């Protein structure tokens, strides 16, 4: 499972960088007004409104990948081995150590 967690982390980092890049590439709402009056964006690679749709959809896809990876990493991070505890009945009984009895007539010998 460690390789899967590493794969999710790499995908999360790539998707985060892609979202940042795509957000920076998109134009603000004020730039659309210039395109309506014949500004130079109508001659772009995607057409007048094609770039906005392409960049918006691509940003949404990478954002979804980012959130799915985040949820997967969180889920894998919370998977821990649970100790059954004392009341489960699977714990072996504890045996007390046997101490040999001393003869009360002999003096105690230090060990």
What is the model's pLDDT at position 47? 57
Q: Does pTM surpass 0.95?
A: no
Q: Is the dihedral of CA 66, 72, 75, 80 positive or negative?
A: negative
What is the model's pLDDT at position 6? 94
Q: How confident is the model at residue 18 (pLDDT cuts 50, 70, 90)?
A: very high
Cα gap 71→94, rounded to integer Å: 43
47 or 99, which is more confident? Answer: 99
Instruction: Compute the chain's Rg from CA coordinates.
Output: 34
Would you tell me the crossing angle of helices 50-77 and 2-25 to the nearest 10 degrees? 150
88 or 5, which is more confident? Answer: 5
Q: Where are the domains of the chain?
A: 1-25+45-79
pLDDT over threshold 60, residue 16:
yes
Q: What is the pLDDT of residues 19-78, one digit of tens each?
A: 999 999 887 776 655 555 655 554 555 555 556 788 899 999 999 999 999 999 999 988
């Amino acid at each position: 499972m460690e390789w899967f967690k590493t794969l999710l982390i790499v995908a999360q980092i790539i998707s985060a960088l892609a979202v940042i890049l795509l957000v920076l590439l998109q134009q603000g709402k004020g730039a659309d007004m210039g395109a309506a009056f014949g500004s130079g964006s109508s001659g772009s690679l995607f057409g007048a409104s094609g770039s906005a749709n392409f960049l918006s959809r691509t940003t949404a896809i990478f954002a979804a990948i980012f959130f799915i990876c985040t949820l997967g990493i969180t889920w894998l991070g919370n998977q821990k081995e649970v100790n059954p505890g004392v009341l489960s009945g699977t714990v072996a009984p504890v045996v007390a150590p046997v101490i040999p009895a001393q003869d009360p007539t002999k003096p105690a010998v230090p060990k």
